[in-house]
Amino acid sequence: MEDNIKGMMIGAAIGDALGYPLEIMGNKNTDGTKIKSVQTFTDWTRVHKNRYFKCTEEIKAGTYSDDTQLTLCVSRSYKNGVFSPQTMALELSEWLAYQTGGGRAVKAAAKNINFKNADESIWYKNFYEGYTYSGGNGALMRITPHIAANVKNKEFTAGLKNAIKDCLITHGHPHAIIAQIFYFTFLWVLTNKLPAEKAFKVAKEECTKRSLKNIGLLPDEWFEKYLENNGCSYEKIEEITMKEFLNKALIVENAIKSNMPEKNLYEKLQATGKFKGSGINTALAAAYTVIKNDRSSFAETVLIPANIFQCDTDTTACVAGAAKGLILGLAGIEKTLVSTLQDTEYIKLCAQALYNGSGHHAFQPSLTDKPLEYYRKNLTEINHGEVLKTRLFGSAVIVEKNMNETLLTARIKTQSPEFTLIIKKIPK
């Protein structure tokens, strides 16, 4: 099973990295042509733009985005098998300085966290503006550590509650919460070597049993504050959203019978276009992709969502990659993808530590050292090879620094254990 858990986490990261180039239309190949499809890992150019400004960033083959960054934040928030919302809050606070492609809800949640005052109750107190309307896939993308940390001891309920707590730090709408319950259960059933179609049915049924109130996690004050912020009770919104989920699950079940092309199913689910970032839409689209491609290779499976126009390519491929990697195990994933992926060895270490309940968070928060945001703001003055003292990750070294006409980037390696942080600054 350990190989399957590694396959799940590596598979999710590979899906993220494969889908990253087409997440935003307009990104370019290294020869300057527009990226129209992705078949494997290659170097590429990311185009950042809004109506006021445009800049470019050179991306190395196998580089992952916010999906994997946040998954690693969750991984480091497990200490000896126990999930710490406080640590996750601190991780989110620092993530803002190195995030790439982060969604609005997660960034808003992270900005609302006070690094010095966050405690273990943060998971039900982070009511930022717009929290009750945040139903995106930003929690779904980081779900795999909750499977990895609880499956060995068969702690389904504990793992599910941790996944929900993690979700509630950043997302308050049932579109995110129901998706979390569904996909956690879907992955959990897959660990029992059951077919993906069976896992889908079990996960769907689990959602109908699990209203947020009857799970018994939250104090009444959360529901009261939800009503105050939204004007409508959580229970009412959950009821409406559950009907939508079940209707869309039925669409998936009919698509399985008719062997509907993924692109058509994604459109029916609204997993393309305006609502592509919905937690429910993404979870159902990814599950269908895995079910339909049960005899396909890992790469063949994840490249489907990575290439669907107007889909949330990186997250859908990430979520599908988690399930496909779990089914095949690390040994079943194409070796060239595994070897090229950014931080492969560190992700394997995370998976192994989570599965064995040992924990591997080598760093203790320090209020005397600098936040990453300090170094990002002062990136112009920091030299290649310089050692940084960070408040969450300990010592880290600038191993690469690049500047083009519009963007300054630095690749940072933490020490013991080693993983990559990339920070960016638009020079004045």
pLDDT in tens, 174-208: 999 999 999 999 999 999 999 999 999 999 999 99
Cβ proximity of 333 and 347 under 8 Å? no
Q: Domain total for the chain?
A: 2
Alpha carbon of 89 to those of 131, 217, 335, 374: distances in Å?
A: 15, 18, 34, 18
pLDDT on residue 360? 59
Cβ proximity of 138 and 64 under 8 Å? no
pTM confidence score = 0.96
152 and 258 assigned to the same domain: yes
**Is residue 13 pLDDT above 70, yes or no?**
yes
**Is residue 363 pLDDT above 70, yes or no?**
no
342 and 387 assigned to the same domain: no
**Is residue 123 pLDDT above 60, yes or no?**
yes
The neighbour count for residue 55, using CB atoms within 10 Å, is: 16
pLDDT on residue 48? 83
The percent of the chain in helix, strand and coil, each rounded to the nearest 5, is 55, 10, 35
330 and 393 assigned to the same domain: no
Can you give the CATH number for the domain in which 48 is found? 1.10.4080.10
Cβ proximity of 20 and 64 under 8 Å? yes
412 and 308 assigned to the same domain: no
Lowest mean pLDDT among 27-41, 131-145, 278-292, 365-379: 365-379
115 and 174 assigned to the same domain: yes
Average pLDDT over residues 117-145: 96
pLDDT on residue 197? 98
Question: Residue 282 is part of which domain span?
Answer: 2-356
Tell me which residue has tokens 């931080």.
343
Cα(414)–Cα(421) distance, integer angstroms: 8
377 and 343 assigned to the same domain: no
95 and 157 assigned to the same domain: yes
45 and 146 assigned to the same domain: yes
Residues forming beta bridges with residue 46, ordered by sequence position: 57
103 and 209 assigned to the same domain: yes
Alpha carbon of 405 to those of 57, 97, 121, 207, 411: distances in Å?
A: 10, 21, 44, 50, 18
70 and 147 assigned to the same domain: yes
Q: Name residue 176's amino acid.
A: A
Task: Tell whether omega for the bond before 195 is within 30 degrees of 0, i.e. cis.
Answer: no
246 and 315 assigned to the same domain: yes
